[in-house]
Amino acid sequence: MSLSRFWRRAIRGRRTTDRLREQVERELAFHLEMLVQENLEAGMDAAAARAAARQRFGDYDETLAEGSRLRAGTARRRRRADFLDALLQDLSFGLRLFRRNPGFTLVVVFALALGVGANATVFNILNGSFFLPPQGVTDPDRLRALARVVPTRNLDAAAIGNTFTYQELVDYRDHNRVFSGLMAYSSAVMDIGVAGETRRVPGALVSSNFFAVLGAPIALGRAFSINEERERGAHPVAVISHGLWQSRFGADDDILGTEMTLNGRSFTVVGVAAEGFRGHEGWETHEVWVPLSTFREASPGGLASLGNRWTWLRLVGRIEPGISLALARAEMNALSRGLEELNPDEDRRAGVTLAMDPPGSKIDSAEAAGLVPTVFATVGILLFVVWANVSSLFLARMAGRRAEIGVRLALGAGRIRVIRQLLSESTLLALLGGALGFVLALWLDDLLLAWTISGEFARLDLSLDGRAIAFALLLSIVSGAAVAVGSARRVLRLDPGAAMKGQRGATIHASPVRSALAVSQLSMSLALLTCAGLLIGYLHGSREPASVVEPDEILLVSVQPSHQGYTTAQAKVFYRSLLERLGDIPGVRAVSLARSSTTDSSWMKERVTSEDRGEATDESWIETHYGTVSPNYFQTLGSELVAGREFAPDDRDGTSQVVIVNETLAHRLWPGESPLGRRVRIDGWGESGVFEVVGLARDRPTRSGARPFLYFNLFHNHPWPASSCTLVMRTTGNPMSLLPAVQREVQALDPNLPLFDPRTFRTEQRDDSFAAGYRFFSAMTGVPGVLVLVLAAVALYGVISYGVSERTHEIGIRMALGAKRGDVLRQVLRQGLLFALLGTAIGFLTSIALLRFLLFLLDETSEELPMNPGVFVSVSLLLIGVALVASYLPARRASEVDPMVALRAE
C-alpha cells in the first residue's frame, strides 16, 4: 500500500462520527417510514400521516443527536478495549521474541542505553548546574538581582556592574515600592576555628533581612537584627549552615551562644540555617553568614564600608506578587534617577536596572552558553547514530520475518496492526534501554564532574530531578518510534504474495543507504577520536613549560595572614621567619614564596614603560602582567634566570626598588639591549613607581604566545603582600608527605593560621580552569568517539554480513568454478578495508572542521596548534583494525559457503 493511502485511511478515523450519524439517521428513517405506512393504512392523508409519525419521535433532531452521541461513545469504548487487548498481545509476543533472540535484544538495549544515557548525562549536568533551583529558597522566580549600567572609559559600550554601596542599599530598600524585601550580601571566605581546628569556609556578609527575603527559614535561633547590621564593632554574631553545624559542631544541641573564631576573632553563633540551605547561588555556596557591620573582621583587606564610599554589596530583592518584571524595572529606574537628582555629584548612581533571571540560576558566561548547544549537538548526533544502527538491525531482522509477515497480512491482519506490534516491541526495548541508560547517566555524571571540575568549593547537587527522569523517558519513547520507522515503511510496502514465496523483492535498494550509514559512522568516529587525541596532546604539550623542572617535586600551599589581622609589616616579618624555618625542614631542597603560584595565570596587570627613554608617549606604555615573588623563586622552580640575579634578602624597604623582567618585556622595552641596570616606571604609582631591573627571566610559554611579564619583590615595596601567599617548595620525594612538617612550622609561628589548598605544581598546571576546558572537550569528543566506533563496527558488520547473505548464490557459483576459500575471505575483508579507508578519508576532512570549531569554542587560534600527524595515523590504524575485525566474521562465513547448498537455494 502506498503511503498516501495509509494516511488517508488514518484520517478516516475522524469521519467515523459522520458515518455513525448516517447510520442512526438511516435507522430512524426506516422506523419513520413504517409508521407513516401504518398511518396511511389507518386512513390519514399523506401530510397528516407524516406529521403524526414524526411527532412520535419527540424532537427528531434531538433524538438524532443523542443517538449519534451514544453510538460514538460505544464505538470509542470498543476501540479502546480492542487497543488494550492488542497492546497486551503485542507485549507478550514481544517478550517471547526477546527470549528467542537474546543477542538481538541485548545489542539493541545496550545501544539505546548508550544513546539515551549520553543525552541524559548531559541533561542532568546542565539541569543540575543551571536550572535546578537552589535548595531552601522559597519561590526563587520572584527574586531578582539589581544591576547598574555604568558608562565606561571606552564609551562604546556600557558595562553592567552589580555591586552597590551600603547607602544605596538603604536608599533602595527604604524607598522602593516594588519589592517586598531587598537584601544585600557579599561573599567572603573566612577562617573558622572550632575547638582549636581552623579551616577555610565559604560564607557571606549579609543584611538583616537576607534570610527573610530568600524565604530560607532558620532552623535554630535567629537571623540578624537591623542593629547588628548597622552598628560597627558591637555584634560579632554569626549564623551557620546546617552542614557546618553537623560537621564542625557535632550537631550540638547547645549550639546557640557557642563561640567560634572567625578570622581570629571571637564570634557567637546565634542561628543555624535550615537543612540544605547553602545560599541562593548555584555554584557559590555559603556555610556561614555574618552581619554587614563585621566587614572589617570577616573580609579584611576588602574595600567595604557602611557609608557611600565603596561598592561591595550585591542586592537581591523579592518582587511583590502582582507586579510584573517590566513594571519593577521601570520603577527602579525611576527611583535611581530620582536619587541621582538628589546627589548629582555621584556618577555611580547611573541607571539601576533589574537582571532578567533569578540570581544564581542563569548561565553566567558566554562561553558556557556556547558550550550547551555544542555538547548537546555531540550527544544528539550520537543518539541519531544509535537510532540509525538499531533501525538497520530491526530492518535486518524484519528481512528474516518477511514470509511470516506476508502470511499474517494475507490472512487479513491490518498493516496498522502489524506496525503497531512492531512499535510496541521497539518501544519496549527502548524503555529498557532508556532505563539502563538513565542509571548509566547517573554514574557517568559523577565521573565527568570529578574529572573536569576541580576547586575547593565547587559542588553540585545532582539530585534525582523529575525533569531529568521525564527527559530520559521521553527520549526513550521517541527512540522506540524512531527505530521502528524504517521497518514500518517496509511493512507498508510489503507485497504479501511475493513475501510468502520468499522473493527478495526491492531490498537491493536498501544497501547503499546502509553502506553510507556505516561509512559516515566510521568517519565520524575518526573525527571525534582524532580531535580528542589532539586536545589531550595540546593539554600536555602546552602545560609543560620547559622552564619548570620536575613539577612533581614542587609543593604548593597557601596561607592568608591578612585574615588574622596582620599588617603588611607584620606579614613580612612572618614570611621571613617562615622561610628560614621551612628551609630547615629535612627534605626541602629550596623554598620561596609567590603571590600567585602560576604566574602564567596572573591576571593582574599594569602599564609599564622604560624610564630611561625620556617622555613617555602613549605607545611606549606596555600592558604587562605581573607577579610578586620572594628571593630564590626561580631557583626553586628550576628555571634559571637568563641574566642578572634573583631578589636578595638585602632588597628590602629602604634600598632601591628592583624588579625582574622576562625576555618578552625586555625585548619590547629595550630591543637588542640588555635590560640589566635599566629602569622601568609603572603607570600611576607616582614617585615610588620607578624600579631598577636586576634580572632577566626566561619566557614562560603560554597558550597565546609569550607575554611580557614583570616580577616584583615580595619583601619590598608592594601594595598587598599581606593578604595571601603561596609557599613554593622543592622537595625530595613525595612533596605531600612534607605537609605535616610544614604545618608544624607555620603553627609554631602562629597557631591560628591555617594552611590551605596543598597541591603539587603538576596539579596546579592541570587544574588551571583553562585546562579544564580542554579536558572537558576531549571527554566530550573522546567518549562519544569510542562509542560511535563501537556502533560503526556493528553497522559495518551488518552491512557486510547482509551483503554476504545476499550474494550466497553468487559465492557458491564462484567456488564451484574454482575459487578458493582464502580468495573469498580476502575479498570480503578487502570490502571492509575499503569502507575503512573511505571512512578515514572523509573523517580526516571532518576532523579538521571539528577541530577548528572546538578551538574556536576554547578561544584559541588554530594556526599555532598544528595537527599532530601521529594522532591521526594511530586513530586511522585503529579504525582499520576495527573494520577488519568487524568484517572477519562475515568473511569467514562467506568462505565456508558450501557451493552445493548455495547453488540449490535461490
Partner 1 sequence: MAKSLTKAESLRGALDLLVLRVLSRGPRHGYAIARLIRDLSDDALRIEEGSLYPALYRMERAGWVTASWGTNENNRRVRVYELTAAGEQQLAAEVTGWESFARAVGKVVDST
Give, in order, the Cα–Cα distances in Å from 160 to each of 148, 157, 244, 514, 902: 6, 10, 34, 53, 77
- The Cβ-side half-sphere exposure at 135, using a 13 Å CA radius, reads 18
- Nearer to partner 1 by Cβ, of 25 and 446: the residue is 25
Three cell numbers written together for 710: 614583570
One of 6, 16, 21, 28 touching partner 1 (CB under 8 A)? 28
Segment lying near partner 1 (by CB under 8 A), choices 24-32, 252-260, 573-581, 765-773? 24-32
Nearer to partner 1, 24 or 272 (CB): 24
Q: Tell me the window of 18-26, 127-135, 484-492, 821-829 that interacts with partner 1 (CB under 8 A).
A: 18-26
Question: Of 57, 131, 310, 844, which one interacts with partner 1 (CB under 8 A)?
Answer: 57
Select from 21-29, 143-151, 199-207, 379-387 the region that touches partner 1 (CB under 8 A).
21-29
Q: Out of 34, 251, 369, 470, point to the residue binding partner 1 (CB under 8 A).
A: 34
Distant-in-sequence, close-in-space partners of 855: CB < 8 Å, separation ≥ 6: 861, 862, 865
* Segment near partner 1 (CB under 8 A); pick from 20-28, 403-411, 556-564, 686-694: 20-28
- Decide if residue 59 touches partner 1 (CB under 8 A): yes
Q: Which stretch binds partner 1 (CB under 8 A): 56-64, 104-112, 222-230, 266-274?
A: 56-64
Q: How many CA atoms lie within 13 A of 255 on its CB side?
A: 26
HEC string of 705-732 equals CCCCEEEEECCCCCCCCCCCEEEEEEEC
Distance from C-alpha of 652 to C-alpha of 631, rounded to nearest angstrom? 11
User: Residue 32 or residue 170: which is nearer to partner 1 going by CB?
Assistant: 32
- Which member of 17, 50, 52, 67 binds partner 1 (CB under 8 A)? 67
C-alpha cell at 348: 555611580
Q: Do residues 651 and 713 make contact, with C-beta atoms less than 8 angstroms apart?
A: yes
CA distances from 199 to 188, 251, 278, 886, 897 (A): 14, 18, 18, 57, 74
Q: How far is the CB of 30 from partner 1 (least distance, A)?
A: 6
Q: What is the DSSP letter of 177?
A: S
Does 80 sit near partner 1 (CB under 8 A)?
no
Q: How far is the CB of 31 from partner 1 (least distance, A)?
A: 5
Residue 666, C-beta contacts closer than 8 angstroms, at least 6 positions apart: 674, 675, 693, 696
Closest distance between partner 1 and the C-beta of residue 370, in Å?
59
> Interacting stretch for partner 1, rule CB under 8 A, among 71-79, 184-192, 414-422, 587-595?
71-79
* CB count in 10 Å sphere of residue 137: 22
| 537 in contact with partner 1 (CB under 8 A) | no
* Residue environment code for 769-799, b if the CB has 16+ CB neighbours within 10 A, otherwise e: ebbbbbbbbbbbbbbbbebbbbbbbbbbbbb
**Please, what is the minimum distance in Å from the beta carbon of residue 39 to partner 1?**
13
Out of 71, 248, 514, 716, the residue judged to bind partner 1 by CB under 8 A: 71
Choose between 19 and 504: whose C-beta lies nearer to partner 1: 19
The nearest distance, CB 78 to partner 1, in angstroms, is 9
For the CB of residue 51, give the shortest distance to partner 1 in the complex, in Å.
14
Residue 820 is a binding residue for partner 1 (CB under 8 A)? no
Total residues binding partner 1 (CB under 8 A): 24
Q: Which is nearer to partner 1, 71 or 415 (CB)?
A: 71
For the segment 349-368, give every residue that binds partner 1 (CB under 8 A): none
The residues, ordered by sequence, that sit 6+ positions from 107 with a Cβ below 8 Å of its Cβ are: 393, 794
Q: Min. distance of Cβ 514 from partner 1 in angstroms? A: 49
Interface with partner 1, residue 39, by CB under 8 A: no
Residue 346 phi, psi (nearest 5): -85, 105
**What is the nearest approach in angstroms of partner 1 to the Cβ of residue 27?**
5
Q: Say how far apart CA 696 and CA 677 lie, in whole Å.
A: 11
- When asked if residue 56 is in the footprint of partner 1 (CB under 8 A), the reply is yes
Cβ 8 to partner 1 shortest distance, Å: 24
The residue (of 17 and 258) whose beta carbon lies closer to partner 1 is: 17
Q: Which is nearer to partner 1, 23 or 266 (CB)?
A: 23
For residue 81, the minimal CB distance to partner 1 (Å) is 10
Nearer to partner 1, 28 or 363 (CB): 28
Q: In the complex, what is the shortest distance from the CB of residue 22 to partner 1, in angstroms, rounded to a whole number?
A: 11
Least distance in Å: CB of 86 to partner 1? 19
CB of 20 to partner 1, least distance (A): 10
The verdict on 62 binding partner 1 (CB under 8 A) reads yes
Options 1, 10, 70, 95; binder of partner 1; rule CB under 8 A: 70
* 16 versus 101: smaller Cβ distance to partner 1: 16
Task: Give the three-class secondary structure for 290.
Answer: strand
Instruction: From 212, 200, 169, select the one nearest 304 (Cα to Cα).
Output: 169
**Applying CB under 8 A, which of residues 8, 23, 177, 232 lies at the interface with partner 1?**
23
Confirm or reject binding of residue 24 to partner 1 (CB under 8 A): yes
Residue 504 dihedral angles phi and psi, to the nearest 5°: -80, -30
The correct pick among 35, 192, 658, 727 for binding partner 1 (CB under 8 A) is: 35
84 binds partner 1 (CB under 8 A): no
Q: Which of 25, 45, 66, 85 binds partner 1 (CB under 8 A)?
A: 66
Q: Report phi then psi at 832, rounded to 5.
A: -65, -40
- Smallest Cα–Cα separation from 835: which of 861, 803, 806? 803
Please state the closest distance from residue 411 (CB atom) to partner 1, in A.
23
Burial, 59: exposed, middle or buried (Cβ in 10 Å; 0-12, 13-18, 19+)? Answer: exposed
- Smallest distance, Å, CB 461 to partner 1? 53
Distances (CA, A) of 231 to 32, 127, 234, 294, 488: 96, 41, 6, 9, 76
| Nearest distance in Å: CB 77, partner 1 | 7
Length of the chain: 906
Q: Is residue 30 near partner 1 by the rule CB under 8 A?
A: yes
Cell, residue 269: 553563633
- Provide the angle, in degrees to the nearest 10, between the axes of the packed helices 769-806 and 821-857: 150
Query: Counting contacts by CB under 8 A, is residue 82 touching partner 1?
Result: no
Give the span between the Cα atoms of 535 and 337, in whole angstroms.
Answer: 51
Measure the CA–CA gap between 225 and 205, rounded to whole angstroms. 13
Among 22, 25, 73, 232, binds partner 1 (CB under 8 A): 73
Please tell me whether residue 31 binds partner 1 under the rule CB under 8 A. yes
List Cα–Cα distances, 137 to 119, 134, 492, 572, in angstroms.
29, 6, 55, 44
The interface with partner 1 within residues 635-674 (CB under 8 A) comprises none
Q: How far is the CB of 26 from partner 1 (least distance, A)?
A: 7
CA nearest neighbour of 542 among 698, 863, 771, 850: 771
Distance, in Å, from the CA atom of 640 to the CA atom of 108, rounded to the nearest integer, reads: 60
Q: What is the DSSP letter of 355?
A: -
Task: Report which secondary-structure segment, H or E, holds 541.
Answer: helix 510-542
Q: Which stretch binds partner 1 (CB under 8 A): 70-78, 155-163, 266-274, 564-572?
A: 70-78
Q: Which stretch binds partner 1 (CB under 8 A): 53-61, 96-104, 241-249, 303-311?
A: 53-61
Least Cα distance to 206 among 237, 245, 244, 248 occurs for 237
Cell numbers linked to 581: 624555618
> Nearest approach, Cβ of 43 to partner 1 (angstroms)?
17
Pick the closest to residue 428 from 121, 100, 92 (CA basis). 92
**CA dihedral of residues 285, 287, 293, 297 (deg, nearest 10):** -100
Binding site for partner 1 (CB under 8 A): 23-24, 26-28, 30-32, 34-35, 56-60, 62-63, 66-67, 70-71, 73-74, 77
